[in-house]
C-alpha cells in the first residue's frame, strides 16, 4: 500500500523488517480466532470484539501481534490496505512495524524504506503534525498538504489515519485506505478506540519484555560498568536504555541526563542519521561497518570517535537492544596530523621516490600519508588513498595483503612478498610489497612500501617462455643437441640424445663417462682445435649405439661465450647420416643406371639453371647431336642454340623452357657445319642437391623423319594404288567411246575416199574389178554414180559429233591425269601457298570413284580465301583420307535401292583460323570409339578394307601444321571432321 509521500518516503508500505511472521495471510485467515460459528460469516463489527480476539494472541511477539492487529483494523473499517508505524517524539522518526500483505504486491517503487523523518512526510504525516485523525475520501482531489505521487505508487482512492497517544506523546500511527465506500466519522471513532486498545496491549507486552530482559540487562550492566571504554545500550527505536560510567564520564553528564535520549541528542544531525541507518541495518540483518564521527564530550571538547554497534540478544535469542561502543581516536588523529606535519618536509622526496609509500594508523587502519607514485601504481589519486582504511579494503583482504600487514604489526618484523592483484581502483598490478611496523610518539603505525615489478615479472615470464620455447624446439629437433661446459660436463641436452645413450639421463655427466678412451681422445682433439681457433668444427664419426648398431654421425661443435665474453663451453649437435649415406649410395647407383639407359636410348641431356638460363651440364649424346664440344656448351645461354619450331618454322628467340614445361615438341637446330638436325624435345623441372634445374631431353629425329617421309609417300602411293582401279574406270569410259568414234571415223573416211577416187576416175572399164561405191569396204562400183550407195548426209552429220565427243573424252582423260599429277605431287618440307578450291576439286575428282555410287557431293567453299599457306601434299592427303572414309561410311549405311547419301565440304575463316570440314550422312561413329579414331592401326572396318593409318596421318599432318582436328558424330546420322589451320602462324612462317 503506497500513498502520498515526500523526499522518497512512502505512506502505505515500506522496506521489509528484520523479522517477519512465519506465516502468510492465508495462514492467518485459516486461524480459528477469525471464524465464527460454523456456517456463519466473519464478525467485523465493533472494536471491542476485535480487541477481545486480539487479546488471546498477546503471547506472540510484538511484530507478529501487530500483523494480526492490522488485519483486524482492515476488517473493522472495510479497508483494502493499511499500516502501523511507531513514532518517536524526540527523534521525530516513524518506524514501520506492520503493513497489509497486498501492499507489496502492487507496489513497484524501487525505494521502500522502514524509517521516515516527519518533516519529509506529506499529508499522511498530518496525523502527527495536527495531533489528530486525518480523513481523505477523495485522494485524487487537490490538497495543498500532498507532496507528490511518484511513478509506481499503489493507487489510492481514500485513506484514514489516527495517532496513538501515551502520556500525551504520540507513540504510533495506524492508517487504512481504499475502502469501497466513503469513510464516516464512526470509522474514525472505531479505528481510534481500536488503536488505543492495541497500544495498551503493546505497552503491556513491552513492559513484560523489559522485565524478562531485566536480569540479563543487569548482568550486562554489571560487566560493562568496569569497562573503561564508553558503552551504551539502546532499544530498537533508538532510545538509550543504559550507559556505563565510562560513557557518562566521557560526555560529562549524570545518568539522569541520558534518560530516553537518542543519537540526535548527542550527535550532530548528519552523524545521528548515519547512526540511525547503522541501527536499522543491524535490525534488518544487513552488513554494517563502524562509523567515524565527531561528538561534543566533557567540557565542550570535540572528540573524534569510532561508533560500533552490535545486537544484544537474550538467552532465547530475542533482541534486547543494541550495544554501542565509542572508541576515542582524537589522540590518534592528533598524532596522525603531527606525523603528517613531521613528514611534510619529506613530501618532495616521497613524491619523487621510485616506489609507492603509504603510512596507516595501526589502531584505526586509516591512511595518514601516501605519495603520488603509489597512487599512479594503483590507478587512483593521493586524495582517494588518504580516505582508505586498509582493514576495510576488499583488495587487501582478497589478495592476502591484509594478513601480511597484520602479521607485520603483530610480530614487528619486516614482511615482504610478491603479489598480483586488482587494486581498489580497478588497476591490475604486480607489486613487491613490504610492510614494516613503526612507532611514532608512542603510537603504532604501518609503513607500506610497494615496488612495481610488473616489468620484471613480465621479463621473467618472457625469459621462462623463451627457455620453454627453446627446450620444446630442441626436443622437436630429431638431431641430438647438448651443452657441455669447458670442463667437459654436460649441463643440458634434448630428448633426441637418449637414443644414442640408452635413454639414461646424461645431464651432469662428463665426457669421460660417455666414450671409450680411443674415441674420447679423438673428440678431445677436435674440441681443443675448436677452442684454439675459436671457430666451429665439423667432422664425421662412426659410433656404436647401446644396441651394438654402428651409426655414421656428423658432429658440429661451436664455442659458447657468456655475456662477459668468457668461454664457458660448447654447443654440440650431431646428425645421424647413416640412412642418408645408404640413400646416397643407392642414388649413385640409380644415377649410373639412368645414365646408361639415356646413353643406350641415345637421349641428349641439357641441364639449364632457371635463374641465369645458362647451360650447366650436357651429356655426350647432346655433344653428338649438336656437333659441339661440351666445353663450348657449358656456360653458354640456352638461347645461343638456334631453335626453329618444326610446325611453324618460327625461330625461337628465347629459351623454349621459358614457356614452361614442354613434352615432345619438334624443333630444327642448325649445327656449326650448316646442317639442320630435326629433334624432339621435352623439358622438365626437378631438384638436384636442393637446387631447382631445368632438364632438356633431346632425341635426334633424322632417321625418324626419313621413315616418316617414306611412310607418307607409301601412304600416298597406297592411296593412289587404291584409287587406281577407280581412276582406270574413270579413264576407260571416255577412252572407250573415243575408240568407237575413231572406228566410225575410219569407216566413214574409207567410204569417202572410195567415192572421191571414183569421181576422179570415170572410166568404169578400167575399174571393173573395183568395189562399188557405198559397199562399206571402200570399193566404188565402176561407172556408178557417186551418190548411188553413199549416205553422205549421215556422214556429214555424225562425223563432227564423233570428233567433239572424242575431244571431250580426251579432255576428260587429260583432266584426270592432271588431277592425279597434282594430287600425287610429293611436295616439300617448306610451306607454300595452295589454291584451296583447286586442291579440293582435284581431290574430289581423283576420289570420285570411291563415293559416286553411294553419295552426292556438295561444295560450300569460302570465295574470300583462295589460297592457304600449308604443305600441299599433306593437305591433299588429309582431304583424300576424309573423303574416302566418308564414302565408306555412307556405303555401309545405304543399300543399292536406297537414295544416295550426301558429302559436304565446307571452308570458312573465323578470325585467325581457317576451317575445313567434311560432313557425311553415313553410319556414324559409336561414342565409345570417338577417343580412339586417331590412334594408329585402330579401325572398325573389315580385314583388308582398312589399315587404321588414315585418320592417324590426318592427326599428324594437322599437328605438323600447328593446327588441330575435331570430330563430332552421332551413330546412324553421320560424322563431321573439322580441321583448324592457324592462319597467323602459318602466314608468318610462309613469309
Q: Which three cell numbers stand for residue 248?
A: 557518562
* CA nearest to 447, candidates 421, 403, 415, 422: 415
Whether the CB-CB separation of 716 and 824 falls below 8 Å is answered with yes
CA distances in angstroms from 923 to 642, 882, 965, 974, listed in the order given = 49, 14, 20, 6
Calpha distance 764→759 (Å, rounded): 10
pLDDT of residue 499: 72
DSSP codes, 69-80? HHHHHHHHHT-S
Q: What is the pLDDT of residues 613-659, one digit of tens each?
A: 888 888 888 787 877 887 778 887 877 777 777 766 677 766 655 55
Architecture of domain 25-208: 2-Layer Sandwich (3.30)
Q: Which three cell numbers stand for residue 180?
A: 469501497
Q: Give Dmax (Cα) for the chain.
A: 213
Low-confidence stretches of the chain (pLDDT beneath 50): 1-3, 5-44, 104, 108-112, 765-766, 769-786, 943-944, 986, 988-991
Residues 6+ apart with CB under 8 A from 367: 358, 359, 360, 385, 386, 387, 388, 389, 390
Q: Which three cell numbers stand for residue 822?
A: 597434282
Q: Which three cell numbers stand for residue 907?
A: 571452308
Whether the CB-CB separation of 549 and 536 falls below 8 Å is answered with no
Calpha distance 835→271 (Å, rounded): 123
Whether the CB-CB separation of 95 and 66 falls below 8 Å is answered with no
At 340 the three-state DSSP class reads helix
963 CB burial (10 A radius; 0-12, 13-18, 19+): buried
Calpha distance 342→362 (Å, rounded): 18
Element of type H or E holding 989 = helix 983-990
DSSP codes, 493-549? E-GGGGGGTTT---TT-BGGGTS-HHHHHHHHHHHHHHHHHTS-EEEEEEEE-TTS-
Whether the CB-CB separation of 81 and 177 falls below 8 Å is answered with yes
CA dihedral 793, 795, 796, 797 (to 10 degrees): 80
Q: What is the pLDDT of residues 735-775, one digit of tens each?
A: 766 777 787 777 778 878 877 887 776 655 445 544 444 44
What CATH homologous superfamily does 582-700 map to? PAS domain (3.30.450.20)
Calpha distance 668→473 (Å, rounded): 56
965 CB burial (10 A radius; 0-12, 13-18, 19+): buried
Whether the CB-CB separation of 197 and 47 falls below 8 Å is answered with yes
Q: What is the pLDDT of residues 212-222, one digit of tens each?
A: 666 667 777 76
Calpha distance 765→788 (Å, rounded): 18
Calpha distance 949→428 (Å, rounded): 88
Alpha-helical runs (H) found in 353-506 = 372-378, 382-386, 394-399, 401-411, 454-476
CATH of domain 826-990: 3.30.565.10
CA distances in angstroms from 590 to 489, 581, 586, 843, listed in the order given = 45, 14, 6, 55
Calpha distance 499→492 (Å, rounded): 16
CA dihedral 291, 308, 319, 71 (to 10 degrees): -10
Calpha distance 951→931 (Å, rounded): 12
Q: Which DSSP letter does residue 938 get?
A: -
Strand partners, 326: 307
Architecture of domain 225-328: 2-Layer Sandwich (3.30)
Burial 585-623 (b: 16+ CB within 10 A, else e): eeeeeeeeeeeeebeeeebbbbbbeeeebebbbbbebbb
Q: Which DSSP letter does residue 489 get?
A: B
Whether the CB-CB separation of 635 and 643 falls below 8 Å is answered with no
Element of type H or E holding 721 = helix 702-760
Calpha distance 115→97 (Å, rounded): 10
pLDDT of residue 17: 36
CA distances in angstroms from 944 to 148, 444, 471, 880, 937, listed in the order given = 121, 127, 80, 19, 12
Residues 6+ apart with CB under 8 A from 42: 34, 35, 36, 75
338 CB burial (10 A radius; 0-12, 13-18, 19+): middle
Element of type H or E holding 356 = strand 356-361
Helix, strand, coil % (nearest 5) of the chain?
40, 25, 30
Count of CB atoms situated within 10 Å of the CB of 344: 11
Element of type H or E holding 278 = helix 269-284
Place of cell 482531489: 141
762 CB burial (10 A radius; 0-12, 13-18, 19+): exposed
What CATH homologous superfamily does 458-576 map to? PAS domain (3.30.450.20)
- Determine the Cα angle at 610 with ends 606 and 613, to 5°: 65
pLDDT of residue 490: 87
* CA nearest to 900, candidates 879, 917, 921, 883: 921
CA dihedral 631, 634, 640, 642 (to 10 degrees): 70
**CA contacts within 13 A on the Cβ side of 324:** 26
Whether the CB-CB separation of 448 and 405 falls below 8 Å is answered with yes
Q: What is the pLDDT of residues 883-907, one digit of tens each?
A: 888 888 888 877 656 788 899 999 9
CA distances in angstroms from 832 to 601, 625, 872, 873, 918, listed in the order given = 36, 29, 7, 10, 23
Calpha distance 819→988 (Å, rounded): 29
Calpha distance 395→423 (Å, rounded): 6
Task: Name the CATH topology of 332-452.
Answer: Beta-Lactamase (3.30.450)
Whether the CB-CB separation of 970 and 928 falls below 8 Å is answered with no
In the chain, DSSP finds a helix count (H) and a strand count (E) of 27, 35
Amino acid at each position: 500500500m503506497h500513498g502520498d509521500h515526500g523526499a522518497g518516503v512512502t505512506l502505505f508500505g515500506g522496506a521489509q523488517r528484520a523479522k517477519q511472521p512465519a506465516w502468510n495471510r492465508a495462514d492467518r485467515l485459516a486461524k480459528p480466532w477469525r471464524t465464527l460459528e460454523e456456517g456463519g460469516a466473519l464478525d467485523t463489527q465493533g472494536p471491542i470484539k476485535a480487541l477481545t480476539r486480539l487479546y488471546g494472541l498477546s503471547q506472540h511477539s510484538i511484530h507478529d501481534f501487530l500483523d494480526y492487529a492490522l488485519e483486524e483494523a482492515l476488517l473493522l473499517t472495510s479497508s483494502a490496505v493499511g499500516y502501523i508505524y511507531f513514532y518517536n517524539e524526540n527523534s521525530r522518526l516513524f518506524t514501520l512495524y506492520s503493513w497489509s500483505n497486498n501492499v507489496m504486491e502492487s507496489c513497484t517503487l524501487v525505494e521502500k524504506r522502514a524509517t521516515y523523518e516527519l518533516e519529509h512526510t506529506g499529508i499522511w504525516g498530518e496525523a502527527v503534525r495536527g495531533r489528530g485523525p486525518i480523513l481523505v475520501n477523495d485522494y485524487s482531489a487537490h490538497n495543498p498538504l500532498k507532496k507528490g505521487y511518484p511513478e509506481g505508487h499503489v493507487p489510492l482512492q481514500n485513506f484514514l489515519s489516527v495517532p496513538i497517544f501515551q502520556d500525551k506523546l504520540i507513540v504510533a500511527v495506524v492508517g487504512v485506505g481504499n475502502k469501497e465506500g466513503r469513510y464516516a466519522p464512526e470509522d474514525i471513532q472505531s479505528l481510534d478506540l481500536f488503536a488505543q486498545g492495541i497500544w495498551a496491549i503493546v505497552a503491556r507486552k513491552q513492559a513484560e519484555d523489559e522485565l524478562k530482559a531485566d536480569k540479563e540487562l543487569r548482568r550486562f550492566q554489571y560487566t560493562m560498568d568496569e569497562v573503561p571504554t564508553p558503552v551504551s545500550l539502546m532499544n530498537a527505536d533508538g532510545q538509550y536504555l543504559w550507559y556505563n560510567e565510562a560513557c557518562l564520564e566521557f560526555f560529562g553528564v549524570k545518568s539522569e541526563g541520558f534518560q530516553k535520549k537518542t543519537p540526535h541528542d548527542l550527535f550532530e544531525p548528519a552523524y545521528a542519521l548515519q547512526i540511525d541507518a547503522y541501527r536499522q541495518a543491524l535490525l534488518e540483518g544487513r552488513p554494517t561497518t563502524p562509523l567515524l564521527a565527531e561528538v561534543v564530550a566533557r567540557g565542550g571538547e570535540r572528540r573524534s570517535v569510532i561508533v560500533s554497534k552490535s545486537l544484544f540478544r537474550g538467552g532465547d535469542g530475542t533482541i534486547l537492544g543494541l550495544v554501542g561502543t565509542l572508541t576515542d581516536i582524537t589522540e590518534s588523529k592528533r598524532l596522525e596530523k603531527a606525523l603528517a606535519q613531521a613528514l611534510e618536509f619529506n613530501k618532495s622526496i616521497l613524491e619523487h621516490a621510485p616506489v609507492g609509500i603509504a603510512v596507516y594508523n595501526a589502531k584505526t587502519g586509516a591512511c595518514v600519508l601516501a605519495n603520488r607514485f603509489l597512487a599512479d601504481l594503483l590507478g587512483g589519486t593521493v586524495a582517494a588513498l588518504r580516505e582508505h582504511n586498509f582493514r576495510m579494503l576488499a583488495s587487501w583482504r582478497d589478495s592476502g595483503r591484509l594478513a601480511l600487514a597484520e602479521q607485520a604489526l603483530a610480530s614487528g618484523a619486516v614482511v615482504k612478498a610478491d603479489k598480483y592483484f586488482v587494486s581498489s581502483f580497478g588497476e591490475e598490478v604486480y607489486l613487491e610489497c613490504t610492510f614494516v611496523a613503526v612507532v611514532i610518539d608512542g603510537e603504532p603505525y604501518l609503513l607500506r612500501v610497494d615496488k612495481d615489478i610488473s616489468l620484471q615479472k613480465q621479463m621473467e615470464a618472457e625469459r621462462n617462455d623463451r627457455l620453454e620455447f627453446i627446450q620444446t624446439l630442441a626436443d622437436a629437433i630429431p638431431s641430438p643437441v647438448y651443452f657441455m661446459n669447458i670442463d667437459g660436463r654436460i649441463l643440458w641436452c634434448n630428448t633426441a640424445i637418449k637414443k644414442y645413450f640408452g635413454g639414461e639421463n646424461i645431464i651432469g655427466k662428463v665426457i669421460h663417462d660417455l666414450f671409450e678412451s680411443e674415441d674420447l681422445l679423438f673428440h678431445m682433439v677436435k674440441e681443443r682445435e675448436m677452442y684454439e681457433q675459436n671457430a666451429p668444427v665439423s667432422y664425421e664419426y662412426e659410433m656404436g649405439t647401446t644396441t651394438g648398431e654402428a651409426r655414421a654421425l656428423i658432429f658440429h661443435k661451436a664455442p659458447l661465450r657468456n655475456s662477459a665474453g668468457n668461454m664457458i663451453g660448447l654447443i654440440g649437435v650431431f646428425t645421424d647420416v647413416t640412412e642418408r649415406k645408404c640413400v646416397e649410395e643407392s642414388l649413385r647407383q640409380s644415377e649410373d643406371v639412368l645414365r646408361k639407359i639415356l646413353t643406350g636410348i641415345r637421349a641428349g641431356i641439357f641441364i639449364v639453371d632457371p635463374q641465369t638460363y645458362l647451360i650447366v651440364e650436357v651429356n655426350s649424346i647432346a655433344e653428338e647431336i649438336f656437333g659441339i664440344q661440351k666445353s663450348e656448351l657449358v656456360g653458354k645461354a640456352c638461347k645461343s642454340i638456334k631453335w626453329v619450331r618444326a610446325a611453324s618454322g618460327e625461330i625461337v628467340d628465347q629459351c623454349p623452357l621459358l614457356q614452361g614445361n614442354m613434352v615432345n615438341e619438334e624443333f630444327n637446330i642448325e649445327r656449326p657445319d650448316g646442317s639442320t638436325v630435326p629433334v624432339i624435345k621435352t623439358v622438365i623441372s626437378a631438384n638436384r642437391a636442393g637446387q631447382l634445374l631445368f632438364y632438356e631431353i633431346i632425341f635426334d629425329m633424322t632417321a625418324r623423319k626419313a621413315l616418316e617421309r617414306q611412310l607418307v609417300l607409301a601412304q600416298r602411293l597406297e592411296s593412289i594404288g587404291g584409287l587406281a582401279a577407280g581412276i582406270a574406270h574413270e579413264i576407260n569410259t571416255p577412252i572407250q567411246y573415243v575408240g568407237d568414234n575413231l572406228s566410225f571415223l575410219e569407216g566413214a573416211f574409207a567410204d569417202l575416199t572410195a567415192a572421191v577416187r571414183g569421181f576422179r576416175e570415170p572410166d568404169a572399164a578400167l575399174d571393173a574389178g573395183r568395189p562399188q561405191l557405198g559397199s562399206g569396204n571402200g570399193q566404188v562400183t565402176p561407172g556408178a554414180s557417186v551418190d548411188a550407195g553413199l549416205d553422205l548426209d549421215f556422214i556429214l552429220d555424225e562425223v563432227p559429233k564423233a570428233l567433239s565427243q572424242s575431244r571431250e573424252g580426251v579432255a576428260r582423260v587429260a583432266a584426270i591425269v592432271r588431277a592425279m599429277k597434282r594430287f600425287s605431287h610429293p611436295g616439300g618440307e617448306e610451306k607454300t601457298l595452295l589454291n584451296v578450291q583447286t586442291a579440293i576439286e582435284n581431290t574430289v575428282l581423283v576420289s570420285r570413284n570411291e563415293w559416286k555410287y553411294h553419295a552426292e557431293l556438295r561444295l560450300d567453299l569460302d570465295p574470300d580465301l583462295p589460297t592457304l599457306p600449308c604443305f600441299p601434299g599433306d593437305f591433299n592427303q588429309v582431304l583424300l583420307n576424309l573423303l574416302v572414309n566418308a564414302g565408306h561410311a555412307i556405303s555401309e549405311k545405304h543399300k543399292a535401292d536406297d537414295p544416295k547419301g550426301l558429302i559436304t565440304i565446307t571452308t570458312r575463316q573465323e578470325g585467325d583460323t581457317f576451317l575445313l570440314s567434311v560432313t557425311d550422312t553415313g553410319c556414324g561413329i559409336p561414342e565409345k570409339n570417338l577417343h580412339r579414331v586417331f590412334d594408329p592401326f585402330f579401325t572398325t572396318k573389315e580385314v583388308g578394307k582398312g589399315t587404321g593409318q588414315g585418320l592417324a596421318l590426318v592427326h599428324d599432318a594437322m599437328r605438323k601444321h600447328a593446327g588441330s582436328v575435331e570430330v563430332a558424330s552421332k551413330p546412324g546420322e553421320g560424322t563431321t571432321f573439322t580441321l583448324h589451320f592457324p592462319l597467323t602462324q602459318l602466314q608468318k612462317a610462309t613469309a
